[in-house]
Every structure is written in structure tokens, then in C-alpha cells.
A and B are shown apart, each in its own frame.
Chain A
Amino acid sequence: MADLVIENLEVHFSGVVALDGVSLNVREGEVFSLVGPNGSGKTTLFNCISGFVTPLGGTIDYGDLDLLSKPPHSIIATGISRTFQNLQNIPYMTVLDNVLLGNHSRIGNRETVRRWISRRQRELEEERALEVLDFIGLANYEQKYLSGQPYCIQKLVEITRALVSQPKLILIDEPAAGMNDQETMEIAKIIGEIRDYLGITVLVVEHDMSLVMAVSDRVCVFDSGNVITIGEPAEVKAHPEVISAFLGESVVA
């Protein structure tokens, strides 16, 4: 029902072809990975979905909603939230506040006014955020300021912020960039749990193949704005064009 359907998406940045007629289809409840060399258009695709980039042509439909007609701040209301490749956190706010920020669209104006006088309302707001923090495993960090926390924690806080608004689809941009192996596996575990326990569809961009192979249901390989192949991890790994794009062809045929 609520599949993300992308058709013939075309994005040019003044002569540079970032996406050249990309079509793909993310099914509900799966972990869908985008891999590809730097500059192959993975993040541009994310930016199109979340409304930051307006494509030249093509359509993006989520369920029966046309995402391209929406400004960036209304995307979250359709149930799609995202994280960023470079950390986009608020450093001088506590971890809890950063997570509460993610709940912005779900807190109404009336609740905000009530919150000024009622402590109960404040706790209600925090309860949900604390639950998700607990789910990610950051319960001890809630009152700490984000600046000065390790990179891994900041990255996890960003994922938590994207999760707290109870989205149906979450876009995670390079969760394992700059992480060591142990932290990468931790992230892989969390992505699996997001799909299994929360039932959220995950679209993830990643370079770390160990993570991609560990969690993905399907993998899509990009190269210079084109989709090379889409399939299950094992198929994709054996695909001749993928091997030539990533590893180079062998000299002896």
C-alpha cells in the first residue's frame, strides 16, 4: 500500500547530470539500500524525496501522495523522516531536546500553550522521546549536551530524532560513515530492529558493504546517476556490471 515509487527522476546541477532517469520502488516494511561510488546521486535522490531538491522531471509518489508538490517542511507530515550525511544536530541543546525537536510536527499549538502552565503536559511530551531513546540505547544521555559527545552518539541521536515522530519511512544517509567496525555492527542491529520491531520502512545510503549486506532486504546500485541493478544482496554482489563498476574488470577474460 504505502510504497515509495520513483519514476524517471532526472536532476541536473547546471550541466552535471546527477540523476539520469532513475526509477525504483521501495516496498513497505523492507530495508532498501542505495550503494554506489561518490557522486553517483544517492544523496541527491534523498534530497529529492525530502523536498530539498526540485527535479527536472519524473515523479515521486508515496502511497497516493505526490511528494514533489510538497515543500520540505511538509514532508514529515506524510510519514517520511530523514537523517543527514553531515551531522545536522543542535549542539547546544541536550540530547533529550534534540530528540524532542524531531517531534515538532506532532506537538500542536494548543498543547504548547498548555505546556507553559502544566507539568503533566511536559512529561507527556518527554515520555515518547524517552521511550525511543531507550529503544536506541541512549537512555543515559538524555540530559547531556550534544556538543562534546562522541560522533557515534551524535549520529544515533540524529536517527532517534528521525524516529520519534513515528514515521512510516525513514531515510538514513550514511549511518556508518566515520564509525569503527563495532559501532557499524551496532548501527546494523539498530536498523534491523527499526524494521522488525517498529515496522518502519528503511531507505539507507551506505558505503560500508558489511553493513549493507548484513541488513538489506534489497540493494540498489547506482553509478553516475543511473541504476545499474536492483536485487537481493547476494544477487547484486555477483552481478557482473557491479563488479566492473566497483572492483574493475579482470584483464584476463
Chain B
Amino acid sequence: MKGRYDEENLKWIAPLIILVIVLPFLLRGATFSYRYYLYVLNIAGIYTILTVGLDLLSGYTGLISLGHAGFLAIGAYTSAVLVDQAGVPFGLSLIVSPLITGLFGILVGFPALRISGMYLGLTTMGFGFIVRRLIIALRTWTEGSAGLEVSKPVLFGFTFANDWHNYFLIYLFVIVVVVFARRVMKSKIGRALMAIRDSEHAAQAVGINLVRYKLFAFFLSAVLAGLAGVLFAHTMRFISTDHFDILLSIYFLIMVLVGGVATIYGAVLGTLFIVLLDFLAIPLFKDWLASFMAVQVADIQSLIFGCIMFLFIIFQPMGLYGMWLKMRIYWKLFPFNPKIKQT
């Protein structure tokens, strides 16, 4: 009876948090260019916050979104304008900007009450385009497509001056968001969202208000994307519409897919995997690949991501997290492994 639920969750979370804290120190001790690695980890952390939100929406609730780069952009630009032009303190913007993004999420959520699947994907993709055009159109605040310089984050009088500082700021939020998302998804809200994905009739029969929960899923997902946007703007210190194109939205979906759909840890793993691949591995061989293939060097990234997505869908539909679960079961039963087939 006692503590069946979430047992493994608690057992794993403390070592993971310690790892997150000591990792930058390890990197500084072990590598020469640790600042670059920290920068890459920061981007991974920011994207993780977003993909966890995307997992809640597309993985758990089954509402495909191809417009999450749009939410990221709204969060980033809202905060940049609020802090640098309206003089709002960063700490306040950290709360207000995600909420404003959340309102946009509800707005995009309304079509989702009537359509689903590919059609919803196209609608949200359209939203992504609209956001980009809107940012260019609102030139007085956003400086159009030229891009916007953003101030450093200042919290309680402390200025986060470099990637070293930003790392702790970002990963504090990553930990909070991951733990929060796990908790939410294990509660009645998570069950309701999964019920909406798998059977709307059953969901209604047990008393789930479809309108409220679908809009809530969009709101929560957009809030997390907005939070990622705020952190993105103030730690990257420069934002332009080029940062938020449709390809990024698709990469976010690939991250969720590669990590394992509808598992929060999967979103984290998938994001780390894709971002590290993008920044650390692909640069090593992309010139070599482009030398004998008729593709631009810039297209190598999408080529590789596309291939990875295909391979995962075919060979490992449960993603990286599913691989980890299988490995764990294997070692638990070793050496008495029956020939199990995970379903």
C-alpha cells in the first residue's frame, strides 16, 4: 500500500540534481573550452523547458503543435520589450511574460476544440508564421527583422553576467519545471489529459470538461514556452525573427519524439540529445558530409535530424526514455531474462 507511486521518481531525482549542480565545475576542471559547453547546455536547458511543455500538449493531450517557436518568440519579445523599454524589473517579467504567452496559448487553443491531427498542426503552424510577421510589423518596439539586443537578467540586485551564472539560473527553472510537470501529470490533470488523447467519450463520461482541459493544456504549454522565451532572450542577449522559424518548431517535435512521447524525462533526454548533437557532433563532420553529397552545409542539420527521427520511429518508437526503461528491466532481471517484448 505505501509509496508504490512515484517511488523511482524520488530515488532518481536527488542524484540528478546533484549532477546538474556539479556538472559545470566538472566541465571547468576537465575541458579547456568549457564556456562553449556551458553555452550549449544553456540552450539545451532553455529548450528543455519548452519541450516539456510541448510534451504536455502534444505527447499527453495529443494536440499537435507546430507553432511552439511562435510561443517562444512571444515570450522572448514580450520580456525584451517589457524590461528594456517599459522598465519592468526582470523578476516581474519572468512571471508576467509567460502568462501573456499563456493567453496567446488559449487563443490558439480555441481551434483545437473543433479540429485535431494534421489540421491542428497546420493551424498552429500558421500561428507560427503570424507571430513572425507580427514581430516584423511591430517595428517600433521590436526593430523588425533587424533583431533586438536584450539586457542581462537582474534578479534581487544580482546581475547574471555570463554563461556560468546563466547556467544556474536556467537549470533552476529546468528542475522546477520537470518536477512540477511530473507532479501535474501524475495527478488527476494528467489522467484527464491522457483520457482526452485516447478517448474523448470516456473522458466526458467520467466528467472531464473537454473545453476547459484542452484550453488548459494549451495555456500550460504556452506558459512554459513563454518562460523558455524569457530565459532565451535575456541569456542569449540577442533575438531576431530568424531564431524562431518553422524549422525550430519541427525540431522541438523531433526532440519530444526522440526522447519518448508522453514521458517528461523523455522530453529532457531528447532535447539534450538533439542539442548536443547539433552543437557538438554535427560540426565535426558536416563539411565532410557536404563534400560528397549534393547538399548545402546548412541543410546537413535537417538531413540528420530527419534521418534520426525516421530511425527512432522505426526501431525505437518509445524513444530514449523507452530504451532506458528496457535497459533497467534487463539489468534487474539479469541473468534470468525471459524473452520479453515491451508493449
Contacts and interface: CB of A to CB of B under 8 A. Distances in A.
Q: Is this pair of chains taken from one and the same complex?
A: yes
B343 A101 contact: no
Interface stretch (B203-211, B239-247, B286-294, B301-309): B203-211
Contacts of A102: 206
Contact of A73 (B194, B209, B262): B209
B2 A107 contact: no
B191 A101 contact: yes
B192 A104 contact: yes
A73 B205 CA distance: 6
Interface string B210-222: 1000000000000
A250 interface: no
A99 to B, nearest CB: 10
Given A105-B206, A119-B3, A145-B343, A112 B191 contact: no
Nearest to A116: B183
Given A73-B210, A101-B192, A115-B187, A126 B205 contact: no
A176 B57 CA distance: 36
A116 B192 CA distance: 16
A90 B343 contact: no
Contacts of A100: 188, 191
Contacts of B180: 116
Contact of B207 (A77, A116, A148): A77
A105 B207 contact: yes
Interface string A90-119: 111100010011111101000010011001
A143 B1 CA distance: 12
Nearest to A145: B343
A104 B201 contact: no
A72 B191 CA distance: 18
A210 B202 CA distance: 28
Contacts of A143: 4
A112 B199 contact: no
Contacts of A147: 343
A91 B5 contact: no
Interface in B313-343: 343
A88 interface: yes
A66 B194 CA distance: 30
B205 A75 contact: yes
Interface residues of B, number: 31
A74 interface: yes
A123 B3 CA distance: 8
A126 B241 CA distance: 48
B205 A72 contact: yes
Contacts of A91: 198
B230 interface: no
B199 A92 contact: no
A122 interface: yes
A52 B199 contact: no
B1 A123 contact: yes
Nearest to A119: B3
A93 B197 CA distance: 12
Contact of A89 (B187, B189, B199, B208): B199
A122 B195 contact: no
Given A101-B192, A123-B1, A145-B343, A76 B205 contact: yes
B5 A126 contact: yes
A107 B188 contact: yes
A73 B3 CA distance: 31
B184 interface: yes
Contacts of A141: none
Contacts of A51: 204
A155 interface: no
Contacts of A90: 191, 194-195, 197-199, 202
Interface string A40-79: 0000000000111000000000000000000111111100
A109 B207 CA distance: 14
A104 B5 contact: no
A119 B202 CA distance: 28
A71 B211 CA distance: 12
Given A91-B198, A104-B191, A104-B208, 10 more contacts: A71-B204, A72-B204, A73-B210, A75-B205, A92-B262, A103-B188, A103-B206, A105-B206, A126-B5, A161-B206
Closest A-B pairs by Cβ, 5 of them: A105-B207, A88-B202, A72-B204, A76-B207, A88-B199
10 contacts: A76-B206, A76-B207, A84-B201, A89-B202, A92-B262, A101-B202, A103-B188, A122-B6, A127-B1, A145-B343
Interface of A: 50-52, 71-77, 81-82, 84, 88-93, 97, 100-105, 107, 112, 115-116, 119, 122-123, 126-127, 130, 143, 145, 147-148, 161-162, 165
